[in-house]
C-alpha cells in the first residue's frame, strides 16, 4: 500500500527478468536428453509393435511423440518446473512471477507438440485402417503410405511451424520461443 492507501504497482516481470535466460542450444541439449530418456525407448517399442505385432493400440501408445510424452512434459514442468532434460542441464521453466507454471500454462506451452501429436495420431489411425498396411514390411513402405494420408500436407506444414516456433528462441532477447510467449513462460537457468 502506498501512503495514499492505494495499492503499489509492482513490476510483474521483475522476477522472471532477473533470471538469466536459457539459450537456444542448451534447450536443444535438454530436449535431446528428454528424447533419449523418454521417447527413444518408446520408439523401440513402437518399432516392435509395428513390425512384428501390427497392433494399432500398442503402436499408438508407444509411437512418437507418444501418449506418455503428452503427459510427461506439461506435468513435469508444472509440478517440478522442468523436465528431466532441463533438470540435467540446470534449467527451469517459470511464469512471469518466477513461479512454476500452472498445469494450464504448461499445456498452453505444450500446444505445438500437442497439435503435432494429434495430426500424427490421425495419420497413424488412417494408415493402420488401410488394407495394404498388413502387407507393409518396413518403415520405407510405411512412409509411402503416410504420404497418401489426407492430412500429410498439414503434418508437413505443422513441422515447419513447429520448427519456426522453437528456433524463435535463438533470436529473441529473453530467448523465448513463440510457445513461451503465448504461455507467458520463460526458460531460465536455475539459480541457487
The residue ranges of every structural domain in the chain are 14-189
Q: What's the mean pLDDT in 108-121?
A: 86
Query: Does residue 1 have a pLDDT over 50?
Result: no
pLDDT tops 70 at residue 135 = yes
Mean pLDDT of 174-186: 94
Cα separations in angstroms, 154 against 2, 48, 100: 54, 27, 33
What the block records as the C-alpha cell of 182 is 503465448
pLDDT of residue 107: 94
- Residue 40 pLDDT > 70: yes
**Stated pTM of the model:** 0.78
> pLDDT at residue 138 above 60?
yes
What is the separation, in whole angstroms, between the first and last Cα of the chain? 30
User: In percent, how much of the chain has pLDDT > 70?
Assistant: 84
Report how far residue 154's alpha carbon sits from residue 112's, in angstroms, rounded to the nearest whole number: 13
How confident is the model at residue 42, as a pLDDT? 76
Place of cell 497418401: 148
Residues 99-103: contacts with CB under 8 Å, at least 24 apart: 101/77, 101/183, 101/185, 102/78, 103/74, 103/75, 103/78
Residue 3 predicted with pLDDT over 70 = no
Amino acid at each position: 500500500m502506498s501512503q495514499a492507501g492505494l495499492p503499489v504497482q509492482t513490476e510483474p516481470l521483475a522476477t522472471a527478468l532477473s533470471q538469466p535466460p536459457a539459450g537456444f542450444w542448451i534447450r536443444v541439449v535438454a530436449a535431446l536428453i528428454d528424447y533419449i530418456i523418454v521417447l527413444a525407448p518408446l520408439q523401440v517399442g513402437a518399432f516392435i509393435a509395428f513390425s512384428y505385432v501390427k497392433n494399432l493400440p500398442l503402436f499408438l501408445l508407444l509411437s512418437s511423440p507418444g501418449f506418455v510424452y503428452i503427459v510427461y512434459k506439461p506435468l513435469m514442468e508444472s509440478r517440478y518446473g522442468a523436465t528431466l532434460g532441463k533438470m540435467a542441464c540446470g534449467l527451469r521453466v517459470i511464469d512471469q512471477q518466477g513461479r512454476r507454471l500452472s498445469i494450464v500454462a504448461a499445456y498452453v506451452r505444450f500446444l505445438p507438440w500437442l497439435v503435432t501429436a494429434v495430426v500424427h495420431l490421425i495419420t497413424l489411425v488412417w494408415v493402420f485402417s488401410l488394407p495394404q498396411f498388413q502387407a507393409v514390411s518396413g518403415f520405407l513402405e510405411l512412409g509411402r503410405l503416410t504420404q497418401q494420408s489426407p492430412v500429410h500436407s498439414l503434418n508437413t506444414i505443422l513441422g515447419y511451424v513447429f520448427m519456426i516456433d522453437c528456433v524463435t528462441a535463438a533470436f529473441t532477447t529473453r530467448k523465448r520461443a513463440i510457445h513461451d510467449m503465448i504461455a507467458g513462460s520463460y526458460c531460465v537457468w536455475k539459480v541457487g
